Amino acid sequence: MTSLDLPYVPHYVAAPPTEEPLEYAEIPTIDISRADTEEGRAELAIEVREALHNHGFFYVVNHGYSQAQTTRMFDIADAAFSAVSDSEKRLYLSRRQEDGSMPGYTLREYTDTYGKVHDQLQQYALCESHENKRQHPEAVRPLLPEIKEFNKYNHLNVLYPILRLIARSIELPEDTLVNIHGFDVANDSSVRFIKYFPRTEEEETKTSNVWLKGHTDFGGISILWSQPVSALQIKTREGEWRWVRHLENALVVNTGDALGFLTGGYYKATVHRVIQPPKDQRTCTRLGVFFFAMPDDDVKLVPMAESPVLQREGLHRRYDDVEASTMEQWRRARTKAYGHSELKNGKEKGVEEEVINGVVVKHYN
């Protein structure tokens, strides 16, 4: 299909990058095209290990998706919000509270974790393993072939090379993690479009300019297609918050809880948050295109003790193996808890906690 054959969608005009002098995190860059050779994979496995140990985040470049294709996907992402009325969105809501399932819309009606204002974001999630059970709004239906192809590309051409490098970095066969992240089997890996809207001054005051508290993702690998509105910050190993710089047509990759469980804490889930953008972007919407990768639902989240690296380094278990959650149990519990848990002050200053499936989950103010 050529560009002339594609369904029309209005072009989404993103804000220009900020000119504010922000303190940016030093995030390594992985050229994934080098994974095409044995020599390249050997070198990249070392780079990925160092990136995850020292930063928990890395950029991916040369992933094979052109700038024009990326721009088109952001246009499609915006159409899921701007071309669909709120009343129609309500016909396609996610079932996150009923059964912990993400596919569908999440509207601006969840209370933020301060319990003071509503989240000023909308989300639309599409999951390959749920597609035979889901319906979509009229404006999205003609765009589904492109979204599904984008989902497949993320899974097979981006996620799988990353998983092979991670497996190699802990001296396991390259397909160890690939084999538990199936493309068309039961899991909740999904493409998600998220649109943040500016808050009022009153809302910003009530939440100290924090849009989403410091947290870890609950899946395995999170992939953000870089966009220019600065708001994402990561918590460094030194305990400082640093901004994530926008790199044109790059991917921002971080690890989640599930990978932390599977590696016995060797690769820890990375704490990050979303805050008010800098002054020159505060009136702009922030449109995000994501791919959140989850291990298969039936995977028990216990350390891969057969790894020689994990054997040498030692395993940090969050719970006894016999009590470990499956990925399905973990994702459903984390999803249903969002915005509804009663958080308690933790031992660390500025940290609130909740216990989910026997695991302490922290939220950073």
| CA-to-CA separations, 223 to 13, 60, 282, in angstroms, rounded | 22, 9, 24
Question: How far out from the chain centre does Cα 181 lie?
Answer: 15
Whether 8 maps to a domain, the answer reads no
Local confidence band at 2 (pLDDT 50, 70, 90 cut-offs): low
Whether 152 maps to a domain, the answer reads yes
Q: pLDDT band at residue 345, thresholds of 50, 70 and 90?
A: confident
Q: Please report, for residues 143, 197, 249, the alpha-carbon distance to residue 118 in angstroms, rounded to integers and kept in the order given.
A: 30, 11, 31
**Least-confidence region, from 135-139, 204-208, 257-261, 344-348:** 344-348
Q: Where are the alpha helices (DSSP H) in 194-276?
A: 201-206, 257-262
Beta bridge partners of 286: 196
- For 24-61, how does the pLDDT look when each residue is reduced to its tens digit (9 = 90+)? 999 999 999 999 999 999 999 999 999 998 899 999 99
Tokens matching residue 102: 């993400």
Per-residue pLDDT at 136? 93
d(CA 252, CA 230): 13
Measured CA to CA, the distance from residue 80 to residue 351 in angstroms comes to 35
Supply the mean pLDDT for the chain. Answer: 90
The count of domains in the chain is 1
Q: What is the pLDDT of residue 134?
A: 77
102-109 average pLDDT score: 80
In terms of DSSP bridges, do strands 272-275 and 104-106 run parallel, antiparallel, or are they unpaired?
A: unpaired
Look at residue 90 and tell me if it is in a domain. Answer: yes
**Residue 337 included in any domain:** yes
Quick check: is 9 in a domain? no
Q: Does residue 260 sit within a domain?
A: yes
Does 232 map to a domain?
yes
Taking residue 150's Cβ as centre, other Cβ atoms within 10 Å add up to 23
CATH at residue 214: 2.60.120.330
Domain that includes residue 171, residue range: 29-364
CA dist 31 and 245 (Å) reads 17
In sequence order, which ranges of the chain are alpha helices (DSSP H)? Answer: 38-54, 67-82, 86-89, 96-99, 144-153, 160-169, 201-206, 257-262, 308-313, 327-337
Per-residue pLDDT reduced to its tens digit, 273-283: 999 999 999 99
- Tell me the average pLDDT across 253-261: 96
Instruction: Read off the pLDDT band of 1 (50, 70, 90).
Output: low
- pTM for the structure as a whole: 0.93
Q: What digits encode the pLDDT tens for the residues 107-143?
A: 876 555 456 677 788 999 998 766 656 789 999 999 9
β 57-61/29-31 pair status: parallel
24 part of a folded domain = no
